[in-house]
Amino acid sequence: MLSPYDRNLNTSFLIPPSGMTLDEAILTTYSLDPSVLLEIPVYLSLLATDSQEIDPYSVLASIKKLKERITVFSQKGLIQVPKEKRPNPVFSYLEDMIIESESPRGGVFHPKIWLLRFINGKEIVYRVVILSRNLTKDNSWDLALQLDGLVGKKRNLKNEPIIYFFSNLIDRLEESELKNKKIEQINKIIADLKMVKWHVPEGFDEQNGAIHFYFMDQGPYQWTIPKNEKLLIISPFCSDNVLEKLAQSSQASSLITREEELLKLKPETLQRFKNGIYTLADGLVDDNLENAELNESLHVTRDQILTKGLHAKVYIYETLEDGQSRTHVVVGSANATNAALKHQINDEVLVELVSQDVQSINVDNFLSRMKANGYLTQYDDLTVIEDSNLSEDDQFIEEIRKRICSTPIRGYCLFDDTSNAWTYVLELDAEEENGQSNYQDYEVKLWPITLNEKRALPWNISGKTEKVAFDHLTSSEISSLIAFEIKHKSRLDNLRFVLKVNVTNLPSDRDAEILKVLIKNKDGFIQYLRLLLGSVYDNSNSVATNSEAGSYWLSRLLDDESTLFEDLFRIYMHEPERLKDIQNLVQDLGGGDSEHIPKEFIQLWHAFEQAINGKK
């Protein structure tokens, strides 16, 4: 069930049911890598073309189509700095997708739930995915549960906890131009969720009580474990109080965690797990990689390290109720920690499945299979484990990160007619620091992620309001996603992260300029145009080389103007709204005078533009 050799990519959850397409999606994650978020439109564009080649123009079309349909909530201050060597303006298209969030109770925003809406005409299918993995690059040993369901005619009260969770997110949306659009999207999905019935996996019961959702926020939908016969806890991070309470619920308890975590636990806590304490086998773990909670991924292959550490959170327990044995499997984002389960200061989402097939689905079978395959090492001697606690320097860097995250940051843009360029100003309003601090030993620099790191500017965090100005920018180089680096002046210790800031007076032509940067010439326009025309054309040539494909479509679109006219006319008669995309493309690229658009196309397009505008 959880074999490290039985791996899936997160992108597999995006594969739509037969005959359907992805309409909208809301994703939540603790940490976020913008490069990984870009994989979603990349993957969807590949699905749409049935091609193994990544066409940059199909990706661009997919991003522009999805940027208002996909919303990603992530913990504030834990967006990662992209590792790409060349800054890419396409990251600016992600701004509309990303919403930073924080737990209002002083913990962290930690849920990992995807809600996907697929459509085919009037038919609607929903998919909920409960994960332990974040949207980052990591080879951790993780777990995900996927459930599909149809929108029916009867209200499903089982969905109330996730409806409550998404309603809670609405209350956290900050004022912005996107706020109303995001509220509309969430409310539409909530309305459907009230009527969705989920299909549970094989081996679990379809009857009442087979599935339960939980939102751990000190509210009405908490998970509490009942008295049970046998319990297995899988958690990379643990607290003594929580483990003791969980162990007290059971006649026989087992624990799978990380070696580093065992050092922090009291001996009397460990003694409660008489059925065994385990860690992942040495061959499955790379001890030289970073904390799994801060750095995770979509990809792993058999010839790579299978996992860099445990990151799954699972609670499997067996009950005996009215003479009936049942196995409960609880999965999701919550570690066995005080922040997650005791004090509930974090935001966490869990789902519970119940099975009466106790012969196949039970604690002993799971552990036996893991042991037989060599995935587990039983705990015996902690003396060889090194303490992985953060150093004093690391702790102070983390303190500076939190200070930056709590600092009001405002961005605004100014156009200089003399230089014909933009100045991008960030105003950082930090509170004056009282008393002694070590801030003078650290350097902070920042830059929009669409700029080269060499153009980063310093920020004095000693406690005064400061303006940082990036000048001589094109509009395509301006982004609300700002990278920060905290570094000790005399050591190599450093930390990087991204914050999304509110920006006013953004250049009105920014999206158009980004498009011009990405569509560099007439061949690029032709390739992008054929994607907008879509299914009018046969995809059999889509796997040709770029030069062959460009030549083919140039010939197809321009050499035979009557054929192109017929294709456009067919779209105009049956799906006229699709011509709006072409109209926007022509306008964004500068209209008839654009060096990106062939003159032959402009002459032909003029007739359709008049029809779109209602002219005779």
Higher pLDDT, 460 or 342: 342
Q: What is the DSSP secondary-structure string of 24-68?
A: EEEEEESSB-HHHHHHHHHHHHHHHHT-SS--HHHHHHHHHHHTT
pLDDT band (50, 70, 90) for residue 470: very high
Provide mean pLDDT across the span 215-224. 95
- Provide the pLDDT confidence category of residue 331 given band limits of 50, 70 and 90: very high
Residue 543 makes CB contacts below 8 A (sequence gap 6+) with 51, 52, 53
Per mean pLDDT, which range of 73-77, 103-107, 199-203, 335-339 is the poorest? 199-203
| 497 bridge partner residues | 484
Which region among 160-169, 201-210, 468-477, 543-552 has the lowest average model confidence (pLDDT)? 543-552
**Distance between CA atoms of 198 and 129, rounded to whole angstroms?**
11
pLDDT at 535 over 60: no
* Residue type, position 127, single letter: R
The per-residue pLDDT for 7 is 52
CA distance 328 to 571: 53
Domain 392-505 architecture: Sandwich (2.60)
> Pick from 443, 471, 444, 441: which is nearest to 455 by CA?
471
The CA-to-CA distance between both ends of the chain, in Å, stands at 65
**pLDDT greater at residue 375 or residue 238:** 238
Q: Are 476 and 502 in contact (CB under 8 A)?
A: no
Fold of 10-203: Endonuclease; Chain A (3.30.870)
Residue pair 32/98 in contact (Cβ under 8 Å)? The answer is yes
- Whether the predicted pLDDT of 306 surpasses 60: no
pLDDT digits (tens, 9 = 90+) for 313-324: 999 999 998 889
Residue 557 pLDDT > 60: no
Closest CA to 283 of 256, 311, 259, 307: 307
* CB-side neighbour CA atoms (13 Å) of 186: 24
Write down the pLDDT at residue 302.
Answer: 29
Residue 157 burial (CB < 10 Å; 0-12/13-18/19+)? exposed
The pLDDT score that the predictor gives to residue 437 is: 67
Reported confidence tier of residue 536, pLDDT bands at 50, 70, 90: very low
The pTM of the full predicted model, rounded to 2 decimals, is 0.84
pLDDT of residue 547: 39
Q: Describe the crossing of helices 578-588 and 522-533 by its angle, rounded to 10 degrees.
A: 160
Percent of the chain residues topping a pLDDT of 90: 51
pLDDT in the model for residue 509:
87
Residues of the chain with CATH 2.60.40: 392-505
Cα 10 versus chain centre, distance = 10
Task: Give residues with Cβ within 8 angstroms of 485, minimum separation 6.
Answer: 81, 444, 445, 446, 456, 494, 495, 496
Average the pLDDT over each of 332-336, 373-377, 471-475, 476-480 and give the range with the smallest value: 373-377
**CATH says 230-378 is which class?**
alpha beta
Looking at mean pLDDT, say which of 166-180, 240-254, 549-563 comes out highest.
240-254
- Tokens 């830059």 sit on residue: 447
Q: Return the pLDDT at 340.
A: 97
pLDDT, one tens digit per residue, over 381-407 is 555 455 555 566 778 888 899 999 999
pLDDT at 207: 65
- Tens of pLDDT, residues 256-280: 999 989 989 999 999 999 999 999 8
Give me the mean pLDDT over the 531-545 stretch.
46
Kindly state the DSSP code that residue 208 receives in the 8-state scheme. Answer: T
